[in-house]
Every structure is written in C-alpha cells, then in structure tokens.
Amino acid sequence: MNKKPLIIKDYSKVVAKDQYLLLFKKRERFVISYRYILALFISNKVTINLYSLMAISQKLPIFIIDGNGSILSKITKVKNERV
C-alpha cells in the first residue's frame, strides 16, 4: 500500500474524524482514510476549523497552499514536553 500526498483545492469543507477525513463538495461527501495519505496540502480557500487542523496534524504534516500551489505555511505535530 503506497501512501500519497492529498491535495485539497476545490472542496468547500474538511472535517477530521478519528480514522478518516470527510471532504464536502456541494452536496457530495467523500471519505478518505489517513492510512492512504502521506501529507495533506490544503488550499487557503477551503474551510477547516482549528480542532480539525490540530487532529490532522497529530497524524500527518499539513501544508497550506495558495491558488498557484505555492506553500504558504506548514503545520506539524507539536510535542507537549514538561521540563
């Protein structure tokens, strides 16, 4: 099973669940498991809440891209360490 990067450009909404992503486009709904995704590239036009971003970043790296595909920012897993 090969993991591949997922590019989300024209979906209206993204929702993170425990084992999969829900992608909404008009009246259609798509489900994609995390085990098939290497990295997630999300357009800055797509609606996603902070909770979903945090949940996804714990499983795989997220890149925010613009309309041309240029990377604007990167979100990765944050380690919670106490000193």
Q: Is residue 36 part of a domain?
A: yes
pLDDT tens digits, one per residue of 32-71: 999 999 999 999 888 888 888 888 888 899 999 998 889 9
Q: What is the distance between the alpha carbons of residues 83 and 74, in angstroms, rounded to a whole number?
A: 26
Share of residues in the chain with pLDDT > 90 (%)? 35
pTM of the model: 0.81
Q: Provide the residue range defining the domain that includes 24.
A: 4-75
pLDDT at 18 over 70: yes
Q: What is the distance between the alpha carbons of residues 83 and 75, in angstroms, rounded to a whole number?
A: 23
Q: Is residue 26 part of a domain?
A: yes
Q: Is residue 67 part of a domain?
A: yes
How many CB atoms within 10 Å of residue 33? 10
Q: Is residue 20 part of a domain?
A: yes
Query: How many distinct structural domains can be found in the chain?
Result: 1
CATH number at residue 20: 3.100.10.20
Q: Is residue 81 part of a domain?
A: no
pLDDT band at 83 (very low <50, low <70, confident <90, very high): low
